[in-house]
């Protein structure tokens, strides 16, 4: 065994070493770079503040004391042996603050000379993405390292000050931190609102109307004697219904307007977590775990391991030019010129947004979800399909609707009927029509049917949009038939408890 290790070290001697976080990522990158590099995994962070001491000297510029994480000594020994004789050391953890801090800690722990360390980052683990990164290696960004350290110090400072108080006042074993403490406050404030809420009764009146021929449609009572109705009791509502049932129903006015509904942007991390929760009931942690696997690489038969999505921790809507070109070519071929905007859709940078990363997108639109389904687990397929559909839809033309509002007079009552008719499906050819379920404020069942090339999962049909109807052609002065008049009892409701999606939002 010792002889075998010696031979391996001799074979590796002088070759550049690449260090990444996970074995899966190392395997994918090793296949891309080939035998000219030694690719190693550090298994995440290798140093941290001591677990049983404060570890920060707040009186001396917040100087930290770092210790090797328990269980990582053997990893560091292996990495020291690999990097000692390496011509160069490429530090390739993820392209975010945590990844930057891991790279810095590796330099410190392995005592890598400044001239030997190179920082490489890639937004996608594809052959092009990896080789481009190695052609332009950079330096460790101390601004990012310090940003990570500041967050870590806050966790420690808040935790060490608040946790003992929790143990004394609430119970042993509880912990406080810079994030969960604020989240708990949000939950408590919402619960207090719910407990303080007192429901109030109110009634609505709906008329089922029709022309002499054709289907029925609904109209809601909007005004009585020119004012909004304040129906607080059943007796009052039933008395009004008895009165209105004897009246003649005639169209007083019809207004129509066109509405343009632009395509949604591609996913950021929080938007992906929200939609994965709504559509598949995935927790935020589960979503990120699946996305990490899709990013690091999936074996696609003879193609080998390929990263299927770009980096999944991002708050940016930016998309690489070559990805926009590929997506537009796909839309042109799959749906036709009618669905393609004249130019690529570029989203404005939001305040506070970091532009270092792209939005979350497939590394190649050509890999449709159904074509690679055989290589994915059910969870991977669901999440990849969500990301693929959203990205393709984000570069399609807007959906166009015709909105109709008819005012219908009945004695001293005025009813309003609203209709929405799809004139051009645009991006909904892939993503489907928006519905209440798309909001993270409610939890929806996953859609059961799909549209579009990838088999869209977040595709509720237009029939699922609450209250949506197509009105018949109506003209002012036209008399309608009253089919039914329905009073309905309601109670005001407290704000809902947070779902994981709405809390993330």
Three-class DSSP category at 225: coil
Would you tell me how many other CB atoms lie within 10 Å of the CB of residue 77? Answer: 10
The tokens for 436 are 């209440």
Report d(CA 112, CA 104) in Å as an integer.
Answer: 10
Inter-residue contact 384 to 369 (CB < 8 Å): yes
Torsion 221-226-230-236 (CA) sign:
negative
Catalytic residue among 249, 295, 311, 384: 311
Q: Is 191 exposed, middle or buried, given 0-12, 13-18 or 19+ CB atoms closer than 10 A?
A: middle
CA–CA distances in Å: residue 190 to residues 40, 172, 184, 193 = 47, 25, 10, 5
Three-class DSSP category at 318: coil
Q: Are strands 17-20 and 89-91 parallel, antiparallel or unpaired?
A: parallel
Sheet holding 117-119, edge to edge: 38-41, 17-20, 89-91, 117-119
Query: Angle 403-408-411 (CA atoms, 0-180°, nearest 5)?
Result: 165
Residue 162 backbone phi and psi in degrees, to 5: -90, -35
Nearest to 465 by CA among 399, 403, 420, 412: 420
Q: Is 311 annotated in the active site?
A: yes
Report d(CA 387, CA 397) in Å as an integer.
Answer: 18
Q: Which residues contact 378 (CB under 8 A, 6 or more apart)?
A: none
The tokens for 505 are 């939002």
The whole-angstrom distance between residue 440's C-alpha and the CA centroid of its chain comes to 10
Inter-residue contact 458 to 438 (CB < 8 Å): yes
Report d(CA 258, CA 420) in Å as an integer.
Answer: 10
Residue 305 backbone phi and psi in degrees, to 5: -75, 130
Inter-residue contact 460 to 433 (CB < 8 Å): yes
Q: Please, what is the angle between helix 23-33 and helix 284-296, to 10°?
A: 20
Kindly report each contact of residues 279-288 with a partner whose C-beta sits within 8 Å and lies 24 or more positions away, as own/partner. 279/382, 279/386, 279/444, 279/446, 279/447, 279/457, 279/458, 280/379, 280/382, 280/383, 280/386, 280/446, 280/457, 281/443, 281/446, 282/379, 282/383, 283/500, 284/500, 284/504, 286/379, 287/383, 288/312, 288/313
Annotated catalytic residues are 311
């Amino acid at each position: 065994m010792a002889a075998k290790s010696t031979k391996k070290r001799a074979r590796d001697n002088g070759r550049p070493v690449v260090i990444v976080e996970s074995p899966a990522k190392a395997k994918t990158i090793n296949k891309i770079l080939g035998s000219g590099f030694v690719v190693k995994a550090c298994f995440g962070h290798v140093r941290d503040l001591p677990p049983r001491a404060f570890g920060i000297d707040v009186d001396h510029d917040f100087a930290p004391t770092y210790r090797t994480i328990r269980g990582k000594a053997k990893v560091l020994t292996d990495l020291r042996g690999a990097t000692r004789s390496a011509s160069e050391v490429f530090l390739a953890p993820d392209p975010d603050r945590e990844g930057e801090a891991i790279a810095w800690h590796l330099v410190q722990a392995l005592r890598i000379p400044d001239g030997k360390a190179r920082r490489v980052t890639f937004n996608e683990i594809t052959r092009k993405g990896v080789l481009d990164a190695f052609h332009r290696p950079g330096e460790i960004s101390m601004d990012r390292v310090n940003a990570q350290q500041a967050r870590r110090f806050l966790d420690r400072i808040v935790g060490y000050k608040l946790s003992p108080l929790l143990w004394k006042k609430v119970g042993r074993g509880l912990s406080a931190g810079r994030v969960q403490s604020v989240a708990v406050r949000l939950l408590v404030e919402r619960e207090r609102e719910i407990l303080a809420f007192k429901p109030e009764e109110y009634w609505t009146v709906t008329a089922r109307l029709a022309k002499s021929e054709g289907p029925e449609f609904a109209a809601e009572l909007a005004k009585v004697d020119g004012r909004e109705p304040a129906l607080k009791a059943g007796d009052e509502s039933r008395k009004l219904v008895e009165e209105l049932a004897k009246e003649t129903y005639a169209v007083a006015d019809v207004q129509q307007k066109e509405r343009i509904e632009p395509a949604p942007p591609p996913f950021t991390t929080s938007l992906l977590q929200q939609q994965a929760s709504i559509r598949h009931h995935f927790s935020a942690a589960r979503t990120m775990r699946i996305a990490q696997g899709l990013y690091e690489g999936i074996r696609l038969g003879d193609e080998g391991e390929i990263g299927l999505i770009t980096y999944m921790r991002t708050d940016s809507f930016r998309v690489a030019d070559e990805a926009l070109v590929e997506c537009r070519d796909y839309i042109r071929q799959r749906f036709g010129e009618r669905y393609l905007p004249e130019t690529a859709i570029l989203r404005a940078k939001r305040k506070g947004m970091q532009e270092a990363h792209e939005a979350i997108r497939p590394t190649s639109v050509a890999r449709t979800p159904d074509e690679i389904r055989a290589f994915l687990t059910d969870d991977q397929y669901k999440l990849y399909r969500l990301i693929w559909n959203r990205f393709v839809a984000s570069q399609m033309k807007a959906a166009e609707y015709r909105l109709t509002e008819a005012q219908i007079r009945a004695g001293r009552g005025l009813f309003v009927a609203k209709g929405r008719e799809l004139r051009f499906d645009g991006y909904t050819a892939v993503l489907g029509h928006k519905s209440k379920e798309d909001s993270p404020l409610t939890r929806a069942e996953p859609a059961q049917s799909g549209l579009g090339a990838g088999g869209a999962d977040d595709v509720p049909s237009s029939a699922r949009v609450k209250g949506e109807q197509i009105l018949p052609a109506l003209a002012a002065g036209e008399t309608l038939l009253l089919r039914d008049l329905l009073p309905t009892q309601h109670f005001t409701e407290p704000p809902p408890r947070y779902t994981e999606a709405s809390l993330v939002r």
